[in-house]
């Protein structure tokens, strides 16, 4: 039986880990099996390579047929994944027939994967100036951003990276509305360092958010280099306007105070102008962040 995707492989693996040799249930699955496979993928293995390496670690050694049967991968998928593990030096192959495969200890495997990652990083660092040189020499690669009036950014990590890239591109000003947890998250992600550098370059930064006891430290940090106003609206739509020319609207899955799952970027003049006007209205009706912090500290119950 062949799995349509790696998720099915994980479900099957969980089932196998809850059964004894006769297929009878033996209680709770081993903790962290799926997490381990996920972490192995973070180190550069494919889902099937990670699953087979983990299974081999449980089995000690096995033939390709035994691996395919246990993992319920097709023979082609199994041999391809084993080849990937062999190429990475993560399994050893016997000389007898049928060939049996034995995994390296996890410490050795991680050491090899780490060395490979470092090698790739060094290669990329060497190629970066060459790519930039070639890129700048080809004028027709320049993108006319007016052709991309709307763009969707998917995934929390991509949203965070794209948002920080926009911050760094600012030439005059940044106006942003933020959910209460966003202030803390921005500091955690290092956006505050970006803001501090921008203000040193005389770029204006204004932030609107609910300032409360939970984001007090982040609010103080924000006020070290920019203007922050308090608005009593925890479910405010978070958006950022850069230089009055482009905007990023962040959307969380629950619509409340969750992590932004997706975002919409636009440089459409009418949309950006509407958001600018909304920001100005909210800014003029909000409270200075310093005053809000003083109020919180006065009413806070001492330890």
> Which pLDDT does position 116 carry in this prediction?
87
The answer to the question of residue 172 being in a domain is yes
What total number of domains does the chain contain? 2
Name, of 12-26, 224-238, 267-281, the range with top average pLDDT: 267-281
CB 220 within 8 A of CB 290: no
More confident residue, 95 or 303: 95
Same-domain check for residues 163 and 66: no
Lowest mean pLDDT among 5-14, 49-58, 104-113, 129-138: 5-14
Pairing of strands 227-230, 204-209: parallel
Among 108, 140, 175, where does a domain finish?
Answer: 108
The answer to the question of residue 132 being in a domain is no
Per the structure block, which two tokens stand in for 78? 């199994």
More confident residue, 134 or 59: 59
Q: In angstroms, rounded to a whole number, what is the distance separating the alpha carbons of residues 49 and 82?
A: 7
Which residues constitute the domain of residue 166?
A: 148-299
pLDDT beyond 50 at 4: no
> Which pLDDT does position 264 carry in this prediction?
93
The answer to the question of residue 49 being in a domain is yes
> Which pLDDT does position 26 carry in this prediction?
37
> Which pLDDT does position 10 carry in this prediction?
43
The answer to the question of residue 133 being in a domain is no
pLDDT beyond 80 at 244: yes
Per-residue pLDDT tens over the stretch 27-45: 444 457 788 888 898 888 9
- What's the maximum distance between 2 C-alpha atoms anywhere in the chain? 79
> Which pLDDT does position 263 carry in this prediction?
92
Mark out the alpha helices in 138-190 (DSSP H runs): 156-169, 180-189
Mean pLDDT score of the chain: 83
Q: What is the pTM of this model?
A: 0.55
The answer to the question of residue 127 being in a domain is no
CATH number of the domain bearing residue 51: 1.10.10.10
pLDDT beyond 50 at 87: yes
pLDDT beyond 80 at 24: no
The answer to the question of residue 60 being in a domain is yes
> Which pLDDT does position 132 carry in this prediction?
82
pLDDT-above-90 percentage for the chain: 44
CATH number of the domain bearing residue 158: 3.30.870.10
The answer to the question of residue 197 being in a domain is yes
C-alpha dihedral sign at 292, 293, 299, 301: positive
Closest CA to 226 of 269, 273, 264, 283: 283
pLDDT-above-70 percentage for the chain: 82
Same-domain check for residues 88 and 176: no
Same-domain check for residues 295 and 168: yes
The answer to the question of residue 97 being in a domain is yes
Same-domain check for residues 98 and 211: no
């Amino acid at each position: 039986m062949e799995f349509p995707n790696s998720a099915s492989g994980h479900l099957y693996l969980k089932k196998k880990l809850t059964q004894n040799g006769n297929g009878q249930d033996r209680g709770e699955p081993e903790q962290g099996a799926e997490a381990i496979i996920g972490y192995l993928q973070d180190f550069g293995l494919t889902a099937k390579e990670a699953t087979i390496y983990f299974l081999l670690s449980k089995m000690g050694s096995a033939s390709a047929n035994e691996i395919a049967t246990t993992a319920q991968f097709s023979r082609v998928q199994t041999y391809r994944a084993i080849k990937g593990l062999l190429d990475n030096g993560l399994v050893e192959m016997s000389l007898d027939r049928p060939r049996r495969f034995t995994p390296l200890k996890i410490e050795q495997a991680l050491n090899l994967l780490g060395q490979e990652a470092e090698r790739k990083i060094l290669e990329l660092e060497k190629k970066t100036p060459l790519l930039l040189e070639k890129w700048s020499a080809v004028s027709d690669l320049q993108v006319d951003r007016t052709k991309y009036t709307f763009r969707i950014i998917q995934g929390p990590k991509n949203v965070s990276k794209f948002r920080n890239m926009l911050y760094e591109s600012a030439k005059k000003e940044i106006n942003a509305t933020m959910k209460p947890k966003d202030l803390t998250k921005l500091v955690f992600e290092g956006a505050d360092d970006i803001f501090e550098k921008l203000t040193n370059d005389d770029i204006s930064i204004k932030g609107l958010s609910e300032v409360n006891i939970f984001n007090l430290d982040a609010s103080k940090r924000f006020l070290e280099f920019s203007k922050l106003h308090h608005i009593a609206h925890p479910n405010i739509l978070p958006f950022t306007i850069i230089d009055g020319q482009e905007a990023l609207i962040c959307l969380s899955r629950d619509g409340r105070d969750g992590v932004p799952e997706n975002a919409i970027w636009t440089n459409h003049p009418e949309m950006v102008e509407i958001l600018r006007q909304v920001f100005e209205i909210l800014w003029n009706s909000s409270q200075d962040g310093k005053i809000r912090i003083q109020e919180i500290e006065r009413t806070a119950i001492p330890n």
